[in-house]
Structure 1
Amino acid sequence: MANFLYQQFRKKSSLYAYNTILVPIGDDFRYDSLHEWDEQYSNYQRLMRYLNSRKDWNINVQFGTVADYFSLLKREGKKKNFPTLSGDFFPYSDQNYLYWTGYYSTRPFDKRFSREVESNLRTADILNTLAFGYCNKWNVKFAHSHETASLLQQARRHLGLFLHHDAITGTSKDYVMENYESKLLEAYNDTQKVMSMALQTLLTKGQFTSPLILSPDLIRQKFNVRTSQRTISISDSGTTIVVFNPLPKNRNMLISLIVNTDTLQVLDRNMKVMSYQLNPVWISKVSVSTSKFEITFLVELPPLGIHTFLLRKGACKEMYPSLLSVYNSMELDVAPNLKFAQNRPVYQPKQSQKLQIENDFVLGEFDPVTGLLQKVLDKRTGNVTNIQIQFMYYISRGSGAYIFFPKGEANPLPNVWGQPVVRVTEGPLMSKIEVLHPIVHHTVILYKVPTEQGQNFHIQNVVDMHASKTKDWEIIMRMHTDVMNENLQYFSDQNGYQLIKRRTKSEIGIAANYFPMTTMSIIEDSSKRVTVHTGQAHGVASLHQGELEIMLDRQLMHDDDKGLGQGVTDNKPTLSKFILQIEYRDKTESEPMTTSSSLSALIINEALQQPPAVFYTTINSEVIRPSFDIASQSLPCDISLVSLKNLVNSDLDYDGTSLILHRRGYKCGFNANYLQCSLSKDVTLSSILPDLIINDARETTLTHLYNRSKALVVKDALNIPVMELATYKIIL
């Protein structure tokens, strides 16, 4: 054994420029018992004594740390500066050209679940902090302070547990994943409860804290069922809708609710009747519900603001029923008493028929047979981008939870069930096209609002791989564009903070050219950029010029021998959200080596990751205020509020407030005229929390363990360098 180790150490030393080498011992399945640790340690000690005693081998082996290793290198003094390697080490391959690129997309249900919990936790933290701070200002006790602290602490622990490298990756056994999902469900419900408590406290000035009367619009009924919207009943006295904006920027956007009547009015906080669009709720491919309806209306939310709306029964002149169309079907079942307009069903549409949705900014043209996007017209510039969406699948040759190992190129999803039904809903506030394939329910929504929400196409895919015909399939959404990206170069983000260049090397195979996509991916040339924003993590590739493909889900019958010991067969119907953004440069430029998101892309992605929180109550209470506005102005476009949360000690007592800001880098040269924020404003603590008394504030390290400044003046501008995080501890 000693001789074998000696030979291995000698071979490894030939790869090093120094006389000292670093040899890690063990892996993630080692040292899980005291007995094993003792045996490993004592056996290595014996081997080291023997190796070091062999003078002819001229070797000295000892235990040490990484710090010890670099200390020895510096002592050798061959080089003053060590070489550095940039990048993220993706993709990883351990043997036989097997690439660990499958887990980027394994169990997307759980990746989506964790992203929703993350958003909920951030929103709950902000609301809890505001409720505590304003109760101090009003000289009333925040009745729920210890309970919310406990719930948030537990939710944070559950989410943190899921970030384990065999949880967020989806590479644990079925029963272990169920345990993770149960904890995520508990965190999801706990954060919603905190939001309800804090919203009720803020809207009643701390006067009415029990019982809780606010219920969330979104619910998760079971750990293995995706999020759904409640059907909101309109009470005789009216139902109050509460909407909170978790972003420190103005936000004018359309929201949609499910209600139990199509005869109602929507009133804003000033009791002014608002216009809204009435959309159908489908109970089958071609049948419309007579008891449930979707309403879409505009909300204008200030930074970190809360606005209420009233839904009450009654006829409304400002209600606009949508127009319904169906393709690839002979039926459209709409009850005669419903208000929707409808076109005659088109059973066999012709390619010459136009299928379009548009607003004042963009027009999307779709294939009337498949219902899939084909091209996009920018009405402001006249530029046309050819972009064809396809749904395809790879057949596994040896893929598993970790490994992506396909059998050749991807194939189009089969039409053995016939052409999918295509539904079109059109109205003055939004239009959408739905494609009802048995495996993928694909929806493209175009909002008609003059803000960033209305500039892009919103894509939702619900993938259901329960069908037996999907065994050993790996389903992708491929976008083929006319972007001329040289050298098959594109970009994906690293944990939502920066973009890194990827370059496809066709000679090493498909699996080796997949990379992780956390929040966005970009493909561009000298005049055009296509950005795909994602609401959850996926794997992404650009295998041919002008293409981006995103893996949506994988059903794998076999183990890949990387430690899991099973395949991945517990697939659930899973929602994936994307935003398709097309931008044109103000002037052409050469292919960049590095890039950043455009300013508008930063805002769009932030809005995707942090949706507004919507609650409602059927109890008519005059104690609830119509609105609660907190910040007087938006933060600059390039400043993100990463976190605003109360810190607590071991007894869950208040121990200060954490504020983390991030100044994000962005790429110039793209249109950003429609954004609801600016770049010219200074950021101060008093501008973020203008109504609260800040007793002390200091810049600290990210962990808040060490101060980086003396006490700050709350009206002084904060100095946040580009691409840096700034952390502050505030005493309210």
Structure 2
Amino acid sequence: MRISTYCAVLLCIVAQCFAASHKSRNTCGYDSCNLGQANKLNVHIVPHTHDDVGWLKTVDQYYYGARNDIQHASVQYILDSVIEELVQNPERRFIYVEIAFFWRWWNQQSNDTRNFVKELVNAGRLEFISGGWCMHDEATTYYNSIIDQHTLGAEFLRDQFGECARPKIGWQIDPFGHSREVASLFAQMGFDGLFFARADYQDSDLRNSTKTMEMIWKGSANLGRQSWLFTGLLADFYDPPDSLCFDRSCGDQPIIDDPSLNDYNVPERVQTFIDAAHDQAYGFATNHIMMTMGSDFHYENANLWFKNLDKLIKYVNAQQTNGSDVNVFYSTPSCYVYALNKVDRAWTSKTDDFFPLGDTPHGFWTGYFTSRAALKRYERHSNNILQATRQLNALSQINLRNDIFYLSEAMGIVQHHDAISGTEKQNVADDYAQRLSEGIDKAADVINNAYAKLLPNESEIPMNATQFLCQYSNISECLPIEGQKQFTLTLWNPTIHPIIHHVRVPVTKEYLIRDPMGSIVSAEYVPISTTTRNIPGRKSSAQNQYIFTTSLPALGFSTYYFEAKSGEKIRKQKTTTTRNEACTLENEYIRVEFDDHGNLHQIINLEKGIAVPFTTQGFYWYTSFAGNNSRPEFQSSGAYVFRPLTSKIQPVSTTRTITCTKTETVQSASIVFNAWASQEVSLFHGMRTVEIEWTVGPVPIDDNVGKEIIIRYDTDIESASKYYTDANGREVLERIRNYRPTWNYSIVENVSGNYYPINSRIWIKDHTRQLTVLIDRSEGGASILDGSIEIMVHRRIAHDDSLGINEPLNETAFGEGLVVRGKHFLILESPENSSRIHRVGAQQLFMHPIATYALPQTSYANYSKAYHQTWSALSESMPLNVHLLTLDQLNPRQFLIRVEHYFELNEDDIYSHPVEVDLQAFFKSLGTITDLTELTLGANMPLSQLHRLDWRTTDKESSHIDMPKYSSLKDTIVTLNPMQIKTFQVTL
């Protein structure tokens, strides 16, 4: 039956049922929880469905139930059926997680149905858990995007349902390893707990045998108790106990409770459940356990589930009169956490993370750290555009937030643990990329409208100068400007600090370039490399590019005017080129030396007088193990799993060529290893980092041998088995080769078992030197030998790892293997001075200037009169250790702003201290702040109203912290401690 047809009748039934319930259910949250019986084993039954936001099918196909020949799944019918069945019994409960699906369903419902669902939410019977747009991946996601996708879901829930829909528990039951940073972010969002299902098999076995499946996870080394989060591993993955699945997709026996029938099975079914409860309780420390009743896309026919669970609860509890100690009832993860909190016991604690994940001795899920490297970069690029678009929309006050939603929603979907992870089918990956592309197109319209207000000079009548993005600039292609007599380049700096930025513009003719002051820019006119020109799919006829240095204002723009000067002599900078000769790249800070065979010999920090010799640097590959996946020892490498055939790496080529080009602005060494692997090492004037732009592909697999491509940096640094990787772009964790902090690790795979996710940076160090590598997307990496860093940049595999997608990770484009291009940045410093450079460098790489072009059909003289050519939203300089994470206009008078301190404790003598920032400075062009309310990180409630559960650890520590008592701030100056993010709703 349809909800809308019977809504009035059902609402009446619900009211009657509430009145008859053993406990008043007219309230939500912890007050609606059944806490069980003190002298019983309390089994919290949690009905749930796990709905992947894309995996084997696209998100659209999953929602509507299309392509059921691939996988039978239809989310719209799940939600229809669950809501319909909840009314039949007031004890029934259900949790829902993926707001990307619920939002779609909600938009299709009548007002009557919506009101009915609100009643269920207000009664605590339909509970939203986690509340993000998706169940995000934890290894390959950046913290900004994690926060955004949870904010997107939290905003929807708050606006539609109010406080009763505010999630209190993180529910990460399917991601493939778990990040300490995610625990910290969840705690800052106000969550009271977190549950997940996947952990290393050695870790899980130990925890189960020592009753430490649940713990207090200390999510930050900097934020203290603010980051602590109660965390638990689920007992049966996230599935029901064996033989107790009642979904249409299962073959288990239903409860047959007519004693007159030969198939009457209540005693057997009851005993099976009681045995399962006791088995599960073995690994847990209290008389409360949680049973997940559901799995992937379950409850399409919710009647099957609830009818049998009703019977199971009835008959199991009836056995208490016969001495059974099992008490079973419908519950939710939040009620389970509340029950544990009321037990008031001390819990063990954890300070490291849950990477890498090994589910068998040979099955380390570390390949997905790099899988679909192009999509990983596209997601990071899309986030860059999203943040800049929000800023421009807010500062121009054009009120086009609804148009930005398309990119926000696409970004929310792509954070899914089978999206950015690279563990989806190829057609689904294509769908994710298409969504990002369409979202960027909408964002480009917003950018153009914003510039239409910010650029024109009020004293002049503005001329047409429509702004557009060039999405293929990474392969030196921008077709709309090719052959134009004049065009402009406008660069938006999304950071709150002035920056020096180096620009490359592909052109088909020579131009004079004027900076915002009208002066001629000293630009280098150099050839585009043959490697770039030969990338499959490149359509540009540009053979050359301009390279020049720009100085961009904080949170502002600068425009550069290009004007062709045919027939006029253009003064060119002196350029020298050598081929297959030893060469040295050098500026005032760094020297990089190559021999005549293209081998990187050493890097020298001229300021500090320290050097790092390189024994090897370049491209290598591991042979992918090609097993049949019949047993753990035959596990193949695939989209999820990285398993090399041996630990020996093979060079992509035994020879290479080197071409060195030196100009006043940049010196570079272009090194070609073979037809499908090359790198260009560049050193710009005034920079303390060495840029390596790498190009890999098409990786050949005609030999049916999968190849995992790495870039290796081998030095003489005495790193003593230690290396350091960031967590989701924020705090850094120490890694030790062949070691786990919380259990005695048995070494089986000595390469893949040492791989960790890198989202921003990795480094090794000794007493005097630290070599840091910054990266432009999430990648997997390790230090397999002392003094060595290796980063996997591309994977092309001929076999599947039998973990679900049933196809090899074999990306192609234009009829051949996919070409992937990216950048690494090398920093050589003394350990005590390195953080300032790599922290700032990582932030600028993360929030890169956004380039837009325009084709004004007028001279520079007329253009300069009609348009502002530089502008900043800030009137004062911001502290270097402060970052503007979010600036989003909510409505004409209200804004959401997040600021963060992005240095860690004891990292820098100057910048690792608390800092003050005046929020009014961000709104100087918009008006005066009249009200300032601090919110939780998810921006869905005032921080002063947050009351988290308190916990005790076995170290006799308490998680209690005093929350601020104010509801709003009148003083616009706020203090940030190291690694602290503060979120505010600002009213002007």
TM-score (norm 1): 0.82
Identify the match of residue 280 of structure 2 among 12, 37, 40. Answer: 12
Identify the match of residue 377 of structure 1 among 593, 604, 615. Answer: 604
CA contact (8 A) 1:303 1:630 kept: yes
- Where does residue 591 of structure 2 map in the other structure? 363
SS class of match (1:170)? coil
CA contact (8 A) 2:533 2:543 kept: no
SS class of match (1:16)? coil
- Where does residue 252 of structure 1 map in the other structure? 500
- Where does residue 420 of structure 2 map in the other structure? 168
Provide the aligned length of Structure 1 versus Structure 2.
655
- Where does residue 295 of structure 1 map in the other structure? 546
1:574 paired to 2:826: no
SS class of match (2:866)? coil
CA contact (8 A) 2:839 2:903 kept: no
Distance 2:313 2:913 in 1: 61
Evaluate the alpha carbon distance shift between residue 200 and residue 112 of structure 1 in structure 2; reply closer, same or farther with a 3 A threshold: same
- Where does residue 697 of structure 2 map in the other structure? 464
Describe the superposition over 1:200-238 as per-residue Cα deviations: whole angstroms up to 9, x where unpaired: 320115787885522334448xxxx978445734755x4
1:491 paired to 2:491: no
- Where does residue 454 of structure 2 map in the other structure? 202
CA contact (8 A) 1:218 1:227 kept: no
Evaluate the alpha carbon distance shift between residue 378 and residue 261 of structure 1 in structure 2; reply closer, same or farther with a 3 A threshold: same
Describe the superposition over 1:660-684 as per-residue Cα deviations: whole angstroms up to 9, x where unpaired: 1011224667799xxxx99898421
- Where does residue 788 of structure 2 map in the other structure? 547
Distance 1:483 1:668 in 2: 23
CA contact (8 A) 1:324 1:424 kept: yes
Listed as ranges, the matches of 1:24-63 within 5 Å are 24-27=292-295, 29-31=296-298, 33-35=299-301, 37-52=302-317, 53=319, 55=322, 58-63=325-330
- Where does residue 322 of structure 1 map in the other structure? 575
Distance 1:430 1:231 in 2: 27
Evaluate the alpha carbon distance shift between residue 24 and residue 669 of structure 1 in structure 2; reply closer, same or farther with a 3 A threshold: closer
Residue 318 of structure 1: CA displacement?
Answer: 5.5
Identify the match of residue 657 of structure 1 among 892, 895, 898. Answer: 895
1:707 paired to 2:973: no
CA contact (8 A) 1:226 1:573 kept: no
- Where does residue 67 of structure 1 map in the other structure? 334
CA contact (8 A) 1:401 1:568 kept: yes
Matched AA of 1:320? Q
Evaluate the alpha carbon distance shift between residue 511 and residue 49 of structure 1 in structure 2; reply closer, same or farther with a 3 A threshold: farther
CA contact (8 A) 2:622 2:707 kept: yes
CA contact (8 A) 1:276 1:318 kept: no
SS class of match (2:327)? coil
1:609 paired to 2:846: yes
Residue 598 of structure 1: CA displacement?
Answer: 1.0
Matched AA of 1:116? H
Evaluate the alpha carbon distance shift between residue 258 and residue 73 of structure 1 in structure 2; reply closer, same or farther with a 3 A threshold: closer
Distance 1:679 1:265 in 2: 46
Q: Which runs of 5+ in 1 are unaligned?
A: 133-141, 328-352, 588-596, 649-653
Matched AA of 2:666? M
Identify the match of residue 442 of structure 1 among 679, 685, 691. Answer: 679
Q: Which runs of 5+ in 2 are unaligned?
A: 1-268, 535-539, 626-635, 740-746, 813-817, 944-965
1:689 paired to 2:923: yes
- Where does residue 126 of structure 2 map in the other structure? none
CA RMSD in angstroms comes to 3.0
Describe the superposition over 1:101-133 as per-residue Cα deviations: whole angstroms up to 9, x where unpaired: 11111111111111100001111111111111x
1:386 paired to 2:608: no
SS class of match (1:467)? coil
Residue 447 of structure 1: CA displacement?
Answer: 0.5
- Where does residue 799 of structure 2 map in the other structure? 558
Q: Which region of structure 1 is more displaced relative to structure 2, 379-388 or 314-323?
A: 314-323
Residue 498 of structure 1: CA displacement?
Answer: 1.0
Identify the match of residue 232 of structure 1 among 481, 484, 504. Answer: 481
- Where does residue 423 of structure 1 map in the other structure? 659
Identify the match of residue 520 of structure 2 among 262, 270, 273. Answer: 273
- Where does residue 369 of structure 2 map in the other structure? 104
Residue 12 of structure 1: CA displacement?
Answer: 3.2
Matched AA of 2:449? M
Q: Which region of structure 1 is more displaced relative to structure 2, 574-583 or 7-16?
A: 7-16
Residue 242 of structure 1: CA displacement?
Answer: 1.8
1:309 paired to 2:542: no
Evaluate the alpha carbon distance shift between residue 704 and residue 282 of structure 1 in structure 2; reply closer, same or farther with a 3 A threshold: closer
Residue 84 of structure 1: CA displacement?
Answer: 2.3
1:404 paired to 2:670: no
Describe the superposition over 1:465-507 as per-residue Cα deviations: whole angstroms up to 9, x where unpaired: 3533474111111111222222x22221111121122222172
Describe the superposition over 1:534-587 as per-residue Cα deviations: whole angstroms up to 9, x where unpaired: 110111111111221111111222222222122111242112222111111459
- Where does residue 385 of structure 2 map in the other structure? 120
Describe the superposition over 1:288-346 as per-residue Cα deviations: whole angstroms up to 9, x where unpaired: x996321122211111122222223345775314222333xxxxxxxxxxxxxxxxxxx
Structure with greater helix share of residues: 2
Distance 1:655 1:669 in 2: 39
Residue 153 of structure 1: CA displacement?
Answer: 0.9
Evaluate the alpha carbon distance shift between residue 298 and residue 169 of structure 1 in structure 2; reply closer, same or farther with a 3 A threshold: same
Matched AA of 1:112? R
- Where does residue 711 of structure 2 map in the other structure? 477
Distance 2:440 2:939 in 1: 26
CA contact (8 A) 2:731 2:904 kept: no
Distance 1:25 1:573 in 2: 44
Distance 1:386 1:671 in 2: 29
Identify the match of residue 179 of structure 1 among 431, 438, 454. Answer: 431
- Where does residue 330 of structure 1 map in the other structure? none
CA contact (8 A) 1:234 1:618 kept: no
Distance 2:532 2:552 in 1: 35
Evaluate the alpha carbon distance shift between residue 24 and residue 463 of structure 1 in structure 2; reply closer, same or farther with a 3 A threshold: same
Describe the superposition over 1:32-81 as per-residue Cα deviations: whole angstroms up to 9, x where unpaired: x431x33233334444444442746543333322333344445555x3x3
Distance 2:913 2:461 in 1: 40
Distance 2:338 2:846 in 1: 44
Evaluate the alpha carbon distance shift between residue 271 and residue 468 of structure 1 in structure 2; reply closer, same or farther with a 3 A threshold: same
TM-score (norm 2): 0.62
CA contact (8 A) 1:261 1:292 kept: no
SS class of match (1:115)? helix
- Where does residue 873 of structure 2 map in the other structure? 630
- Where does residue 962 of structure 2 map in the other structure? none
Distance 1:600 1:208 in 2: 44
Residue 699 of structure 1: CA displacement?
Answer: 2.8
Residue 636 of structure 1: CA displacement?
Answer: 0.8
CA contact (8 A) 2:701 2:798 kept: no
Identity of aligned residues (%): 21
CA contact (8 A) 1:200 1:208 kept: no
Distance 1:283 1:414 in 2: 19
Matched AA of 2:556? G
Matched AA of 1:375? Q
Listed as ranges, the matches of 1:505-524 within 5 Å are 505=738, 507-509=747-749, 510-524=751-765
Evaluate the alpha carbon distance shift between residue 210 and residue 310 of structure 1 in structure 2; reply closer, same or farther with a 3 A threshold: closer
Residue 409 of structure 1: CA displacement?
Answer: 1.3
Matched AA of 1:306? F
Evaluate the alpha carbon distance shift between residue 476 and residue 466 of structure 1 in structure 2; reply closer, same or farther with a 3 A threshold: closer
Describe the superposition over 1:603-640 as per-residue Cα deviations: whole angstroms up to 9, x where unpaired: 11111112212223331234212222321233111111
Distance 1:258 1:217 in 2: 11
